[in-house]
Chains A and B, each alone.
Chain A
């Protein structure tokens, strides 16, 4: 009768192969995004267990350690997978309240304004207040109009189901009123990627055709034709859930001059940007 010898390392290796394969199958289901969204402690523990459960295949010591943690690793993976639906719901939830755009300047004119200028400023401010109130009697009669000062007012209103916050500020050059700066914000879900708004170019059209860029159509044909809403996946914590894409455009008769990101969204600027609303609608290639 032949003596049977079995290498103990081989025996342990054979024993941990099935649970190892199960863990690997579970681990393969986790996307990079889920890793980012997992609570920090859970992610750290998963990483630690993963490191221990994937040993060198040669040493008895490491194989034994892996044997001891594979079950815990599999359970932790199951917990992470079970957490995914609630994380998905959380990241798709859209806050009901729109954030207020931050004012660019003080809401009251300088006390040093001369008498003549002060009269002009007052006249311009009265015009702005009357104008904005008049606009919202037509757009949303239930809008909440708040006067922040003679130079600024805020309107919280709804449009097409979305809560919006509009900030109107009279801009002075010296003491002379020149233009109205308007900022509009709405809330978005925390899962909304960072959005970068920029004018369409022929290279964008080409890139979109081969899926190199992700464009978001907002449903406004003129807007969609002029601007590429480039949706790069947001880094965790890069901006709050209650802010939306930022763009700063000049008047309809001039070009976009700059992008403003009062809330930390990516900015991009181009002197050749198209105007919006456009005077003559253009279509993307």
Chain B
């Protein structure tokens, strides 16, 4: 959640929305499995 205080305007809300949607779409790679012996080759 992004919380700030100022006079609301289109540009600021749109910029905040753009940034949050970017964070939402970001992927964070953290594998659940290490590769097996066969997969390493």
Contacts and interface: CB of A to CB of B under 8 A. Distances in A.
Interface stretch (A56-64, A179-187, A202-210): A179-187
Given A139-B13, A277-B11, A184 B34 contact: no
Contacts of A186: 20-21, 23-24
A243 B30 CA distance: 19
A209 B26 CA distance: 20
Most buried by B among A164, A217, A253, A265: A164
Contacts of B15: 220, 222-223, 276-277
A252 interface: yes
Nearest to B35: A29
Interface string B20-41: 1111111110111111110000
A152 interface: no
Interface stretch (A1-9, A80-88, A111-119): A80-88
Given A139-B13, A263-B1, A184 B32 contact: no
A266 interface: no
B23 A29 contact: no
Contacts of B21: 159-162, 164, 186
A244 B5 contact: no
Given A88-B32, A277-B12, A195 B23 contact: yes
A164 B10 contact: no
A107 to B, nearest CB: 16
Contacts of A84: 32-33
A248 B34 contact: no
Q: In the complex, which of the residues B3, B6, B7 has the most CB atoms of chain A within 10 Å of its own CB atom?
A: B3
Given A164-B20, A183-B3, A243-B1, A191 B30 contact: yes
Interface residues of A, number: 73
Q: Max chain B CB contacts within 10 Å: which of A161, A162, A262?
A: A162
B5 A218 contact: no
10 shortest interchain CB distances as A-B pairs: A218-B22, A251-B6, A162-B21, A159-B17, A185-B1, A249-B4, A183-B3, A34-B32, A160-B21, A219-B22
Interface of B: 1-28, 30-37
Interface of A: 25, 28-31, 33-34, 37, 81, 84, 87-88, 92, 94, 99, 101, 128, 131-132, 135, 138-139, 157, 159-162, 164, 166, 168, 171, 179-188, 191-193, 195, 216-220, 222-223, 229, 231, 233, 243-253, 260-263, 265, 276-277
27 contacts: A25-B36, A29-B34, A30-B33, A31-B33, A33-B31, A128-B8, A139-B10, A159-B17, A159-B20, A162-B21, A162-B24, A179-B5, A179-B7, A182-B13, A182-B16, A183-B3, A219-B18, A219-B22, A220-B22, A229-B23, A233-B30, A247-B1, A250-B6, A251-B6, A252-B12, A262-B3, A276-B4
